[in-house]
Amino acid sequence: MTSSALPASHTDNTPGVAARPLSRTLARMLSLDDFEAAARRRLPRPIFGYVAGAAEDNQSLQDNRRAFAQYGFTPRVLVDVSQRTQRTELFGHQYAAPFGIAPMGISALSAYRGDVVLARAAQDANIPAILSGTSLIPLEDVIQQAPATWFQAYLPGDPAKIDALVTRARNAGYETLVLTVDIPVSANRENNVRTGFSTPLKPSLRLAWDGLTRPRWLAGTFLRTLLAHGMPHFENSFATRGAPIVSASVLRDFSARDHLSWEHVARIRRQWRGPLIIKGILHPQDAALARQHGVDGVIVSNHGGRQLDGAISPLRALPGVVDAAGGMTVMMDSGVRRGGDVLKALALGARFVFVGRPFNYAAAVGGQAGVAHAIKLLQAEVDRNMAMLGINSVQEMHTGLLWRDAPVRP
């Protein structure tokens, strides 16, 4: 498959769908960052603030981008790159690109049926999407719409609750389970408070005004959801339905995670027969422990800068984690915005990367078509960079194609 035949950005060539022109709004989206600016105009300030915000002083959020900028490419030339392909095998599945959609909580407040929108766009493009445990649409509904979706769980250190949620996900048909482990306590997200977002979501004059001044979101997302599905609930934190997003009891759904330990990972491993992935690894010793506990893969992540402010960027942590992982599959997220970022992560040892916020913004701006367009933009960037780097497959990326002020460790 030659990926140089990727569609131009002004058309929509979703597989199985006749090519059609993009809307004027989507035609103006030339990069993933363009979706953020458009989403800021589309979404109420508290909702946008929740998605965009990070923890405390945003040190980790900002360093996630700086880390990519510290690497340059050293391309090879006069290489026949006419047969280049982005195909990547992961856990026995051939994906069309080396990136997927990261889990994002409450995305159904950004776009109508946001979790379904993200999952269906990913499946159409043959890339993985991970459904968040803090999503507002039942996991059974999402996998019915997109059977290849992965499920991410936030689990308390309670064996009974762990067993019940793992059983629910397995019975629903999920094959890949992602356990996120970097949230023993809730982060200090001052940015959320400053923009008017809270958990539970509290009705306020600011929220009402923001909704009234953004009629497309008010009618197309919020009121449409209320009319068709009622007040959103946290659906997938446990085996049973969680509290409504406006209920004070929501806080109980996010407690007791400080008990979670490697003993619980061993318990989950005994129950889960499919791929088991741990997300939130930054320390090499934790990667080694994951391998010892029979985990199939890890996602190197600092939660997009949303948890421990000052935590090392995943790109910086990646080489050490890869060394400690042995043959275990290593992936990463946090800060990926360009095709060049994807390739830099692959060169440093990642097998795959995941992208979060930009796809949420794309869903807010254009629904499923917006997410499909964002995927194609990133695929096109990867393809162009591969050609200019002189490689025909993403597996050919290596540290010899990178440069830093100090030599890149092979």
Point out the residues that are catalytic.
303
- Identify the three-state secondary structure at position 167: helix
**Chain centroid, CA 253 distance in Å:** 22
Cα 158 to Cα 162, 182, 212, 236, distances in angstroms: 6, 17, 42, 16
Closest-CA residue to 178 (of 161, 195, 155, 158): 155
- At residue 198, what are phi and psi to the nearest 5 degrees? -150, 160
Q: Are strands 352-355 and 20-21 parallel, antiparallel or unpaired?
A: unpaired
Helices (H), 53-113: 59-69
368: buried, middle or exposed (CB in 10 Å: 19+, 13-18, 0-12)?
buried
Helices (H), 53-99: 59-69
140: buried, middle or exposed (CB in 10 Å: 19+, 13-18, 0-12)?
middle
The residues that bridge with 12 in the sheet, in sequence order, are: 20
Euclidean distance between CA atoms 103 and 99, whole angstroms: 13
Euclidean distance between CA atoms 162 and 269, whole angstroms: 11
Contacts 24+ apart (CB under 8 A), 388-391: 388/75, 389/73, 389/75, 389/76, 389/343, 390/75, 390/76, 390/77, 390/78, 390/79, 390/81, 391/76, 391/79, 391/81, 391/84
Euclidean distance between CA atoms 26 and 35, whole angstroms: 9
Q: At what angle do helices 32-42 and 357-389 cross, to 10 degrees?
A: 160
Beta strands in 296-381 (DSSP E): 297-300, 329-333, 352-355
Euclidean distance between CA atoms 182 and 204, whole angstroms: 31
- Identify the three-state secondary structure at position 203: coil
- At residue 162, what are phi and psi to the nearest 5 degrees? -60, -50
